[in-house]
Amino acid sequence: MESSETLFARALRRIPGGVNSPVRAFRSVGGAPFYVRSAHGATLVTVEGRELIDFVCTWGPAIHGHNHPLIRKAVAAALEDGTSFGTPNRFEVTMAELICRFVPSVEKVRMTNSGTEATMSAVRLARGYTRRDKIIKFSGCYHGHSDSLLIKAGSGALTHGHPDSAGIPASFARETVVLPFNDTASLDAAFAANPGQVAAVIVEPYPANVGLILPRPGFLAHLRVSCTANGALLIFDEVMTGFRLARGGVQEIEGIVPDLTALGKIIGGGLPVGAFGGRAQIMDLVAPLGPVYQAGTLSGNPLALAAGIAALELLEESMPYRGLDALGRRVRDALAGACKEKGLPAQVPQTGSMFSIFFTPRAVHDYAGALTGDAKLFARFFRGCLEAGVYLPPSAYETAFISTAHEGAAIDRACEVMASVIRSL
């Protein structure tokens, strides 16, 4: 089998940057990406046969670990009947019922092929429902790469130093108002400056594409009150957090009811999928019932939904959230303890099975705070962990994920490795 080095050299000749998603390029941490041959449980196996403890978890979907036998069995069974039909199938109905049962704010839901499609469609629906044009978003929150939302974005856009993408007309950007996360005064001022013009506020309730940032007490509740008072819709982008932190997502944890919710990742069980849903009154504006057009040839794909149904049913059966939080706290304590011992200023935000590390002395509450972290020091930390067999997101501005498969030897070894690398910095 070819080496990662050879495969990357081939990729560079035919794929921009050699990768099909920018953060995979390793540019901010140095070196070239490795190529994976297989994955199982908490482990990635490279084409060279090297085993890595994985805290990327395909950027969130693998909450049960890689290649879970029940998910694999569900896909195999669906595959027996075909790969795609272009007509309604039974998996779509089951998935819709599961989502609406798990997430009470969602009365009706439409499947898409990605989280980007889900957020893009939710914004279009909000504009169609309110008959307004402006959208409020928050610096560092990444809602996919649609034109309206790729303004001051996180994720790969931030990692590579281009939070405002080329190719987005200035006229589009003018319809997007960007505010600091956790700043209620700025939100109030934005509504006051744009009376009757704001269609929606879209937010990652726990921003996770700029590292992990947690909301200050009362911030999300203020969003809800402000949107209601100003006739705007509140859109929760729970593509990452949905089903990962609680069965009903952050909105269950925080007790906030958004008007629309974007979902993805876990509901595909590792296959491409997305969804957006909310109040029936709003969702009924989507074609064919209403004038807001949205479509997708592969939306509701039977293989993707079979995998996602198996993933959600596993969550319902096992309810692993308390155990995942315990694993998250173990990682947090190991990282924070090692940094304190070494005398390195660091912040280690963690909630449930999500965590990150910022090498900065100040608490991080927003995009500006995230940028105070020492990205060069993070790169050294990343390389040291990778060399010792632990794979973290290859960016100082991404969030790491834990799966149920990490419990036991994997989490023990990973904590030991990460603490040791910090002590060596």
Which whole number is the average pLDDT over 83-98?
97
Statement to judge: residues 140 and 232 lie in one domain: yes
How far apart (Å, rounded) are the C-alpha atoms in residues 57 and 75? 19
Final residue before a domain boundary, out of 317, 339, 365: 317
**pLDDT (0 to 100) of residue 157:** 46
Task: Check whether residue 276 and residue 176 sit in a common domain.
Answer: yes
pLDDT at 173: 76
pLDDT band at 139 (very low <50, low <70, confident <90, very high): very high
β-strands 198-203, 233-237 pairing: parallel
Specify the DSSP class assigned to residue 293: -
The answer to whether 13 and 383 have CB atoms below 8 angstroms apart is no
Residue 160 has pLDDT above 50, yes or no: no
Mean pLDDT of 37-62: 98
Confidence band, pLDDT 50/70/90 cuts, at residue 151: low
User: In this predicted structure, what is the pLDDT of residue 153?
Assistant: 54
Residue 394: CATH number of its domain: 3.90.1150.10
Domain count, the chain: 2
Run of H or E including 354: strand 354-355
Same domain (yes/no): 276, 184 = yes
Torsion of the alpha carbons at 291, 297, 298 and 302, rounded to the nearest 10:
90
Residues forming the active site: 142, 237, 265
Question: Which residue among 302, 317, 332 closes a domain?
Answer: 317
What letter represents residue 104's amino acid?
P
- Res 366: pLDDT: 96
pLDDT band at residue 167 under the 50/70/90 scheme: confident
Taking residues 363-376, what's their average pLDDT? 96
Count of other CB atoms within 10 angstroms of residue 48: 13
Of residues 150, 116, 148, 147, the one with CA closest to residue 135:
148
CB 354 within 8 A of CB 348: no
**Mean pLDDT of all residues in 109-121:** 97
Whether residues 190 and 261 fall in one domain: yes
Are 325 and 254 within one domain?
no
Is residue 199 located within the same domain as residue 324?
Answer: no
Which residue in the block uniquely carries the two structure tokens 């099975």?
A: 353
Which residue, 18, 26, 12, is CA-closest to 56?
26
Give me the mean pLDDT over the 97-126 stretch: 97
Q: Would you place residue 20 in the very low, low, confident or very high pLDDT band (cuts 50, 70, 90)? A: very high
Q: Which residue has the tokens 């200050």?
A: 216
Instruction: Tell me the pLDDT tens digit for each residue of 218-252.
Output: 999 999 999 999 999 999 999 999 999 999 999 99
* Whether the predicted pLDDT of 91 surpasses 70: yes
Tell whether 412 and 373 lie within a shared domain: yes
Q: Which amino acid is at 329?
A: R
Query: Averaged over 171-182, what is the pLDDT?
Result: 87
0.85 exceeded by pTM: yes
> pLDDT confidence of 161, banded at 50, 70, 90?
very low
Q: For the domain that residue 210 is a member of, what is the CATH number?
A: 3.40.640.10
Q: How confident is the model at residue 149 (pLDDT cuts 50, 70, 90)?
A: confident
- d(CA 159, CA 156) in angstroms, rounded, equals 5
Output the six-digit token pair for 244: 């990962």
310 and 327 belong to one structural domain: no
Pick from 262, 287, 317: which residue ends a domain? Answer: 317
Lowest mean pLDDT among 118-122, 143-147, 322-326, 337-341: 143-147
Residue 319 phi, psi dihedral angles, 5° rounding: 40, 70
| Range(s) of the domain holding residue 182 | 69-317
pLDDT reported for residue 72 = 98
Same-domain check for residues 54 and 8: yes
| 3-state class (DSSP) for residue 400 | strand
Task: List strands edge to edge, sheet with 350-351.
Answer: 350-351, 354-355, 400-401
Residues 330 and 302 reside in one and the same domain: no
| 154 shares its domain with 183 | yes
**195 and 277 share one domain:** yes
Question: Which pLDDT score is estimated for 158?
Answer: 42
Selected residue with higher pLDDT from 29 and 162: 29
Averaged pLDDT for residues 66-82:
98
pLDDT (tens digit per residue) in 278-320: 999 999 999 999 999 999 999 999 999 999 999 999 999 999 9
Going from the C-alpha of 131 to that of each of 124, 128, 227, 257, the distances in angstroms are 10, 5, 15, 22
